[in-house]
Structure 1
Amino acid sequence: MKSPRLNRIFYREIAGPCLIALLILTFVVFTREFGRLAEMLIRRNADGMTVVQIVLFILPSVLIFSIPFAFLIGTLIGFSRLSGDSEIIAMRASGVSVWQMLKPVLKVAAVVALITAAFTFSLLPRGNWSLRLLSHELGFKPLQSEIKPRVFNEQIPNTILYVEDVDLRTSRWKGVFVHTSSNGEKRTILASRGDLITSEDGRRVQLHLEDGTVYDTREATPERDSLTRFGTQDVLLPLAEMETAFAKPKRPKDRTLLELWRDRNRGSIADRRANGVEMYGRISLPLAPLVFGILAVTLGISRAKSGRGYGFIVSIVVAFSYFVMFDMGRSLAAGGVIPVWLGGWGADLVLAGFSGLSFYSASRERLLLDRVIDNRLLSMFARGCARLFSKAGGLFRGLVRSIGNRFWDVCTVCVQLTRVVDLYMLRNFLYYLVPTLFICTSLFYLFTFFELMDDIFRNNIAYRTVFVYFLFLIPQILILLVPISILIATLVTFGVLDKTSQVVAFKSCGISIYRIAVPVVLLSAMMGGGLFVLQEYVTPYANQKQDSLRNVIKGRPAQTYYQLGRNWIFGEDNRLYNYRHFDSQNHVFADVSVYDLDISENRLNWHLYAKRVRWEQGTGNWIFSQGWRRDFSGGNGPNYETFNQKYFDFPERPSYFEQEVKESSKMTYGELKEYIRGLQRAGFEVDQLRTELYRKLSFPVVSLIMTVLGIPFSFSMGRKGALYGIAAGVVIGIFYWGMFGAFEVMGANGLLAPVLAAWGPNILFSAAGLLMLSWVKT
C-alpha cells in the first residue's frame, strides 16, 4: 500500500474523533463556567462584549489541557477502531510496519505541539493577566445601571447605598440613602436626588447628591453627633483598592515565557524557584502530544478486538497518570524537594520511557504486557486467584440462582405486558445513554481534578476528603450532564437505526417512527422527573457539602449557608435595622442600630442604638441593653438619652430577621419561594431569584425536549454515523445552554418576565423539535 494513501487513511481515522473529543472536552469544562458568566452579566452588569472577552481569556487555560488530551483520545480511538475491525492485521500482513503507522501521527502531533506551545508560551499568560485586570475592573467599577431601586448595594468598600426609585427619563435617583463607616466614625446621608459620576478611565467614582441631610456619629462619643443639611454635596467613593490591584507585579503564571526567562535570576530564592517551575512546565506541556502520539499508536494496535471503548478508557488512564505526575513534580520542585528542571520535565521523561518500551515491544510484534503475563510465576498466581474466586462463587451460587429465578419471573411478566419493539428501542437507547453519561462524567471529574491538583498538594488535603467531595458532586454533575447525554444518545440511536436501514424495516411492518419513539420519549420524561426529585431532595444538601469541602481543599474557611449575614433590612413604618450579628436560636442581636427615617423627604426622626438586644417571648417586646437614643423630631432641638435596659414594642418579630443566606442552588423550590417572599417584604429586588425559581421547574423538562429535538435531527443527518450525532448533540447543547444563560440575564435585569425567562428556551426548542418532527417521513 502506498504511503500517501496510507497516511490519508490514518488522518481520516483520527481527525473526526480528535475534533469531537476537543469539542466535548471544551464544552464539559465550560458547563461549569456558564453559571459564573451568567452571574457576571447579572451582578456585575457586564455587557456582552465583556463576557466574550472573559471567555477568550479563560479559553487558553482550558485548551492547554484539552488539545493534547483530545489528540490522545482521538488517536487511541482511531487506531483501536482499526484494530477492532482487524484492519491493523491486514496492514501488518501487507508489510506495513509500526513506524510507517507512526510517522503520519507524529506529523499531526508536531502540529498539535506547536499549537499548544503558542498557548503556553504567550496566549495563556496574556489571558491570565488580562482576566486579572478585567476582574478587578468589574469588581470595583460600580456602573450607574448596576444601582437598582430598593436594593441595598454593598459593592463599594465600607459603603451601603440604597435608592428608592430611578427616573426612567433622566436615570437620576430619587430618595438616596448612603451609610459609610471608617475608624469608628459613621456617616449617614439622606438626599432627595442623586446620581453617579464616573471618570473616563473608570478609576474615580463620586456620588453627586442634592437637597439632603448628613448625620455623623462616633462610637466612642455618641453624644457628640451632628445633623446638618446641604444643598449639593459630592462624595468620593473609596476605590483605592483598584489602583493598588493594577500596581501589583505579575505572578509567574501571568508572565510569558520570554519574561520568565528574563526574570529567572531575579528576586528571592523562592521567587526564582517559582519562576523556574513555571518556565519548565510551559516548555514540557507542548512536548506531551509527541509522547501521546507514540503511546496512542502502540496501545491502539495492541489488541486485536479492542474497539473505541478500549481506546477511550486507556486514554483516560494515560492522561490522568500524566497530569498527576506533572502536577506532583511541580509541587515537589516548588517545595525544593527535587530540582526545578526535574519537576517540570519528570512527567514527560517517565511517559517517554514507557512510550519507548511500548514502541519497542510493538515493533517486535510482542507486547511488553504479554511478556509480563507469560511469566510462569504470575501465571501460577493468576490460576490460584481463579480457583479462589471459583470457590467463593460457589458459596453464593444458590442465593444467586434463587434471586435469578425471581428476577426471571418478573421479567417474563414485563415482556408479556410490553411490546418487543419497545424493549428493543429501550435497550438500544440505554446502550448509548449509559456510556455517554459515563464518558461525560469522567471528563468532568478529570478536569475538576486537574483544577484542584495544585490546591490538594499545596494544602496537604487527604484523599478521603477529595473522594467525599467528588461523591457529593455527583448530583450536580447528573443535573448538568443528563440532558446533553440524552440528546447525544437519541441522536446516535436513531441515526444508527437509519444508517442500518432498520427504520425501513419498521416502516415495512407498519410501525411508524412516532411509534418506535414512544418508549424513548417516555423514558426521557421519567428521567426528567427523576432529575426534579434529585434537584429537590438531594442536590441542595449535596451542594452545601461539596461547597464546604471545596473551601477546605482551596484552603479557605468553610462557610455555612445558614448564617444570617444580611445586616441591613427595612422594617415597618420606615424603620431601618442594622446589626452586626443575630443569634437566631436565642433571638439575640449584637450592635444594633434602628433608624426611623423618611428617605424621600431626607428626614431622620430618631436613631436608637444598643450593644445587645433580646426578644422576650412572654411580653412580646424587644429588650435593648446598654444603649442610647437620639431624637431629632422634637421642637426644642435634638434629645439625647442613655439607658441600661429599655423595652420597645416593635412589630417585627424574630422570624422577620431569620432569613437564611443561601444560593438558589442550595434551596428546594418551596424554600426558595419562601425566601423570595421574605426578601420582597424587606424591600429587595428579586427578579433574578424569581427567574431561578421558575427555572427549577423548567430545567428538568429539558430531558424530554432534548429527545423531541434529537429524533428528527438524527434523520436529517442521513447516514453519517454515530460520530456526527455526537458532534451535533454537543453543538445543540452549546446553543441551548447559551440561550439559557442569555434568557436568565434578561429575566434578572427585568427585560423579560421571570417565568418567560425561565421557560423561553424550552418553548423555542420544543417548538423547533415538534416542527421538525412533523416534517419527518413516518
Structure 2
Amino acid sequence: MDKKHQTRYEDLTLLPRRWFPLPRLDFYILREFLIKYSVLLLVFIILFILGDVYRDISDFLENKASVSDILLYLAYKQPGNIRFILPISMLLGCMWTMATFGKNMEITAMRASGVSLFRCGGSIFVVGLAVTFINIYFNEALVPFTERSAEIIRSNATERRRYVRGLLTYRSNDQQRHWLFNNFTTGNIQNDVTLKTFWTDGMIDSLVLVPDEAARRRMILEIFPGKAERLLSLSRAEMEKQVRRELVGRKVDFYGREAAYDPENETWIFRNGNFISYDRNDDTRFSASTGTSAIHEQIPLTELRFPKNEIPEATNDILNAVKEKDDLPTWVIWDLVQRSPNMAERVKSIYMTVFYYRLAFPWACFLAVFLGIPLATKNERTGSLLAIITAMVIIVVYIVVAQVFLVLGKAGILNPMFAGLAPTAAFIACGAWRIYHDRN
C-alpha cells in the first residue's frame, strides 16, 4: 500500500462499539421477536392439542366422559408439550426475526452504526435465558405432576376406577428383590403382594430364631422337616449357626394379603400372608418358581417387618422405576442413584444418561439464540425462507443426534455424561463460533 492510501486509511476513525444503554433499539427488537415467538408458540400448541385429541379423545368418548374431564385432561397434557415447543419456537422465532431484519437491511444499518451482531440480539438473549429457566421449572416441577394428574383423570374417566397399575412387576436396582403386585396403587398400602428375594440374617432373626423357644422350635420343624430333629439336638449357638448356614442365600418368596410401607420408619410390613423357601438348584433367581424345589410347605405369617437395610426401596421408588425414565425429575434420578450403591451398571447408565440429558436439554432454549442470530443474518439478501429452512434442518439434526447419543448412553456404549451433554455442548459451541466469526 502506498503512502498516499496509507495516510487516508489512518485518518479514518472507526465508530466505537455500542453496548449499553440502547433502550429504543432493544425494545424494538424485543417487540418484533415476541410477536413472532408468540405466533409460533400458539401454532405449535394448537398442533399438539390436535395431536392429543386425535390420539386420546376416542377413549373418553367411548366411556362417555364429561366435557370437563376432557378439557382438564388436555390442559394437564400441555406443560409436557410446551417443554418441547419452547426451544423449537425460540430457534425459529430468533431466525425469523433476524432474517426479517436482514431482508430489510436493518442488520446492516445496526452494524454500520457500531452495534455488533452479538449486541443486536441482546434482548433476544435475555428472553432465551428467561425461557430456559421456565423450561427447567417445567421439566423438574410441573411436568411430572401434570403428567401424573392427566393419567389419573384418564384412568378415572375411561376405566371408572382410581389410578392403579395392574400386574406390576419391579426388580430392585441391586437385583436382589423381585416384586409382584396384583394391583399397584399410588398409596402406601398394597394388596396381594409377592416378594421374591433371598434369606438374610435379619429375616432369619425375625422369623426363625425368635426369642420364644416354643415358637422357634415350631418354625424349625416346619422349615426343616427332614433335619429338624438333628438341628434341635444341637446346642443353642451351634443350632443358630447351622440354621444360618442352611438358609442365608436361599431363595424365598414372601406373600402378604397386605403390604404396607411406613414412610416414617422406612419399613415394609407384610401382614396375613405366608412364605416358602426353595433349594439352591434353581437356575434363574427370579423365575416364577418354575423348575425349583421347595424345601418346605407354605408357612403362614401374621406380620413381618422389613427395615430399610433389608428393603431400601419405598413405594415412590417403585412407582418412579416403572415410569419412563425421561419423565423423572433430575433430583429424583440423582436421589435414586445415590441411595442405590449396588445398582447394576446397565441400570445406572440409563439413569445417569437421562440425568445429564435432562440437565442439558432446557438450555437448548438459550442456545438456540447462538445459532439463530448468525445463521439468520448470514445471507441477508436471500430473505427469511432460507433461514426458516435452515432452522428446521438444524432442529432435526439436533434432535436426531441427541436421541442417538441418548440411546448409546443408555446402552453403556458411551459415557453417560458425554452422551447427555455432548449434543447440547456442540450446539452452543457451534453457535458461539459463528457469532465470534461474524462479530464484526
TM-score range, shorter chain: 0.5 to 0.7
Find the partner of 1:627 among 250, 274, 277.
Answer: 274
- Per the TM alignment, residue 621 of structure 1 is displaced from its structure 2 partner at its CA by 9.7
Residues 157-200 of structure 1, C-alpha deviations (whole Å, 9 max, x = no match): xxxxxxxxxxxxxxxxxxxxxxxxxxxxxxxxxxxxxxxxxxxx
Pair 1:667-2:328 in alignment? yes
- Per the TM alignment, residue 557 of structure 1 is displaced from its structure 2 partner at its CA by 7.1
1:420-439 matches, cutoff 5 A: 420-439=24-43
Residues 616-656 of structure 1, C-alpha deviations (whole Å, 9 max, x = no match): 999x89677553554758xxx95668455586777635653
Letter in 1 for 2:403: G
In 2: Cα distance, 1:766 partner to 1:466 partner: 40
* Corresponding residue of 1:708: 370
* Corresponding residue of 2:252: 607
- Per the TM alignment, residue 709 of structure 1 is displaced from its structure 2 partner at its CA by 0.5
Contact 1:589 1:614 in 2 (8 A): no
Letter in 2 for 1:764: A
Pair 1:766-2:428 in alignment? yes
**Structure 1 residues 642 and 458 mapped into 2: Cα distance closer, same or farther (>3 Å)?**
closer
- Per the TM alignment, residue 665 of structure 1 is displaced from its structure 2 partner at its CA by 4.7
1:180-259 matches, cutoff 5 A: none
In 1: Cα distance, 2:190 partner to 2:48 partner: 44
Find the partner of 1:466 among 70, 76, 84.
Answer: 70
Letter in 1 for 2:319: V
Find the partner of 2:405 among 719, 743, 753.
Answer: 743
* Corresponding residue of 2:82: 478
Contact 2:170 2:318 in 1 (8 A): no
In 2: Cα distance, 1:578 partner to 1:604 partner: 18
Residues 455-495 of structure 1, C-alpha deviations (whole Å, 9 max, x = no match): 45444333322211221122122211111111111111111
Contact 1:492 1:721 in 2 (8 A): no
Contact 1:495 1:719 in 2 (8 A): no
* Corresponding residue of 1:487: 91
Residues 127-176 of structure 1, C-alpha deviations (whole Å, 9 max, x = no match): xxxxxxxxxxxxxxxxxxxxxxxxxxxxxxxxxxxxxxxxxxxxxxxxxx
**Structure 1 residues 486 and 630 mapped into 2: Cα distance closer, same or farther (>3 Å)?**
closer
Contact 1:579 1:591 in 2 (8 A): yes
Letter in 1 for 2:313: Y
In 1: Cα distance, 2:329 partner to 2:166 partner: 18
- Per the TM alignment, residue 725 of structure 1 is displaced from its structure 2 partner at its CA by 2.7
Residues 336-367 of structure 1, C-alpha deviations (whole Å, 9 max, x = no match): xxxxxxxxxxxxxxxxxxxxxxxxxxxxxxxx
Letter in 2 for 1:498: G
TM-score normalized by structure 2?
A: 0.67
- Per the TM alignment, residue 703 of structure 1 is displaced from its structure 2 partner at its CA by 0.9
* Corresponding residue of 1:595: 198
**Structure 1 residues 649 and 694 mapped into 2: Cα distance closer, same or farther (>3 Å)?**
closer
Find the partner of 1:542 among 146, 149, 161.
Answer: 146
Find the partner of 1:694 among 356, 360, 364.
Answer: 356
- Per the TM alignment, residue 691 of structure 1 is displaced from its structure 2 partner at its CA by 1.5
Q: How many correspondences in the alignment?
A: 351
Contact 2:251 2:277 in 1 (8 A): yes
Pair 1:451-2:55 in alignment? yes
* Corresponding residue of 1:731: 393
Contact 1:564 1:660 in 2 (8 A): no
In 1: Cα distance, 2:144 partner to 2:307 partner: 35
Contact 1:544 1:561 in 2 (8 A): no
Contact 1:577 1:592 in 2 (8 A): yes
Letter in 1 for 2:68: R
In 2: Cα distance, 1:678 partner to 1:566 partner: 21
Letter in 2 for 1:607: V
Contact 2:374 2:438 in 1 (8 A): yes
* Corresponding residue of 2:105: 501
* Corresponding residue of 1:519: 123
Root mean square deviation of aligned Cα: 3.8
- Per the TM alignment, residue 705 of structure 1 is displaced from its structure 2 partner at its CA by 1.2
* Corresponding residue of 1:752: 414
* Corresponding residue of 2:208: none
In 1: Cα distance, 2:181 partner to 2:384 partner: 59
Letter in 2 for 1:670: W
SS in 1 for 2:313: helix
SS in 1 for 2:114: coil
Greater RCO structure (CA 8 Å; 6+ sep): 2
* Corresponding residue of 2:438: 776
SS in 1 for 2:115: coil
* Corresponding residue of 1:685: 347
Give aligned-pair identity as a percent: 16
SS in 1 for 2:198: strand
In 1: Cα distance, 2:363 partner to 2:274 partner: 55
**Structure 1 residues 764 and 557 mapped into 2: Cα distance closer, same or farther (>3 Å)?**
farther
**Structure 1 residues 625 and 760 mapped into 2: Cα distance closer, same or farther (>3 Å)?**
same
In 2: Cα distance, 1:644 partner to 1:452 partner: 45
**Structure 1 residues 575 and 525 mapped into 2: Cα distance closer, same or farther (>3 Å)?**
closer
Residues 496-520 of structure 1, C-alpha deviations (whole Å, 9 max, x = no match): 1111111222123222222212221
SS in 2 for 1:686: helix
In 2: Cα distance, 1:533 partner to 1:621 partner: 33
Residues 517-560 of structure 1, C-alpha deviations (whole Å, 9 max, x = no match): 2221122111111111222221111111223345567x467774
In 2: Cα distance, 1:590 partner to 1:420 partner: 67
**Structure 1 residues 744 and 575 mapped into 2: Cα distance closer, same or farther (>3 Å)?**
closer
1:78-157 matches, cutoff 5 A: none
In 2: Cα distance, 1:561 partner to 1:668 partner: 21
Letter in 2 for 1:514: F
**Structure 1 residues 479 and 641 mapped into 2: Cα distance closer, same or farther (>3 Å)?**
closer
**Structure 1 residues 712 and 675 mapped into 2: Cα distance closer, same or farther (>3 Å)?**
same
More moved, 662-671 vs 693-702: 662-671
- Per the TM alignment, residue 447 of structure 1 is displaced from its structure 2 partner at its CA by 3.3
